[in-house]
């Protein structure tokens, strides 16, 4: 991860500027770039025909009003769905609302997101979370490594890093792309200790904000080992102050513009 300056954590847009725009849509990521986000965070799942798409939930009930699993659908089927209407359900009734490019509201492939980042006018990093459990198991990490390699983004200094709650998934990525930075996500105070026999010393710790709030002594112990901290999901000034107090290297937020404004 590139340094942001002394005391300045990297601001990572969680699923894009997802407080304002529908998560994981191209519209949310374009907004995050315009907001000045240092990095973009996404979750990836594999479609039935082998495409990595940026979707958090295993099903589409919440984001596309479909009682189907992402893993059971082909990309062409997903492309027919609106992934943004749920965010602003009354938008069609607003006569003064600006016209929206519907391509910004469709399912987003990881490749399209990476192309957007690669073509941007400044360096932007990407934090990619692989979701588990999944019916495709290790195929997700293999496809991810292949995709990043196609962009030349598996070498040291890559703008991409991989995150997961699964240490098994991170070990897969390490075998496939040994130079990528890896973030072990945690939502339990026992997770870090239980992962130690299987983890590697350079893994970044990714605690949830609640873990930071309720178990600060655990976070301090992790920091004392020289391990960097990437914390999710940081949305208020008080949350950000707590992260600054603990020397957090990256804050993952639904509100990148607001967090950047507070930092600056």
Specify the DSSP element, H or E, that contains 168.
helix 167-176
**Taking residues 1-26, what's their average pLDDT?**
85
Among 96-100, 140-144, 214-218, 255-259, the least confident range: 96-100
**131: preceding bond cis by omega (within 30 degrees):** no
Predicted confidence (pLDDT) per residue in 157-189, tens digit = 999 999 999 999 999 999 999 999 999 999 999
Does the pTM surpass 0.75? The reply is yes
- What's residue 5's pLDDT? 47
Count of CA atoms in the C-beta half-sphere (13 A) of 34: 9
Active-site annotation holder among 56, 132, 215, 246: 56
**Tokens in use for 239?**
């949350």
CATH architecture group of domain 10-263: Alpha-Beta Barrel (3.20)
Annotation says 132 is catalytic:
no
Dist. CA 230–CA 85, nearest whole Å: 31
**For residue 126, pLDDT beyond 90:** yes
Predicted confidence (pLDDT) per residue in 76-88, tens digit = 999 999 999 988 7
Dist. CA 206–CA 218, nearest whole Å: 12
Active-site annotation holder among 14, 24, 51, 230: 14
Phi, psi of 47 (to 5 degrees): -80, 170
Tokens 């990256």 belong to which residue? Answer: 250
Q: Residue 132 — pLDDT band, cuts 50, 70, 90?
A: confident
What percent of the residues of the chain are helix, what percent strand, and what percent coil, each to the nearest 5?
35, 20, 45
Annotation says 246 is catalytic:
no
Predicted confidence (pLDDT) per residue in 37-54, tens digit = 999 999 999 999 999 999
Predicted confidence (pLDDT) per residue in 191-216, tens digit = 999 999 999 999 999 999 999 999 99
Alpha helices in 101-166 (DSSP H): 110-118, 139-150
List, as one string, the DSSP characters of 3-26: ---TT-PEEEEETTTTTTS-TTSH
**Tokens in use for 188?**
């339990």
Dist. CA 129–CA 54, nearest whole Å: 9
């Amino acid at each position: 991860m590139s340094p942001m300056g002394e005391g300045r954590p990297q601001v990572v847009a969680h699923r894009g500027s997802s407080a304002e725009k529908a998560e994981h849509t191209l519209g949310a990521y374009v907004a995050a770039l315009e907001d000045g986000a240092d990095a973009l965070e996404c979750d990836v799942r594999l479609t039935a025909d082998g495409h990595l798409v940026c979707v958090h939930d295993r099903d589409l009930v919440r984001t596309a009003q479909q009682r189907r699993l992402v893993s059971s659908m082909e990309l062409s089927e997903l492309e027919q769905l609106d992934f943004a209407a749920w965010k602003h359900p009354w938008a069609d009734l607003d006569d003064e609302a600006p016209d929206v490019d519907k391509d910004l509201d469709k399912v987003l492939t990881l490749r399209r997101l990476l192309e957007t980042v690669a073509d941007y006018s400044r360096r932007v990093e990407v934090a990619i979370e692989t979701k588990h459990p999944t019916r495709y198991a290790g195929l997700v990490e293999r496809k991810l490594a292949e995709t990043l390699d196609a962009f030349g983004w598996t070498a040291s200094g890559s703008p991409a890093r991989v995150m997961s709650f699964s240490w098994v998934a991170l070990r897969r990525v390490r075998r496939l792309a040994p130079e990528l930075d890896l973030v072990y996500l945690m939502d339990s105070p026992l997770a870090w200790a239980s992962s130690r026999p299987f983890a590697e010393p350079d893994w970044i710790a990714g605690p949830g904000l609640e873990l930071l709030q309720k178990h600060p002594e655990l976070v301090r112990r992790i920091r004392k080992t020289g391990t960097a901290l990437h914390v999710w999901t940081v949305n208020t000034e008080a949350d950000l102050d707590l992260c600054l107090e603990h020397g957090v290297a990256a804050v993952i937020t639904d509100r990148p513009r607001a967090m950047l404004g507070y930092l600056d």
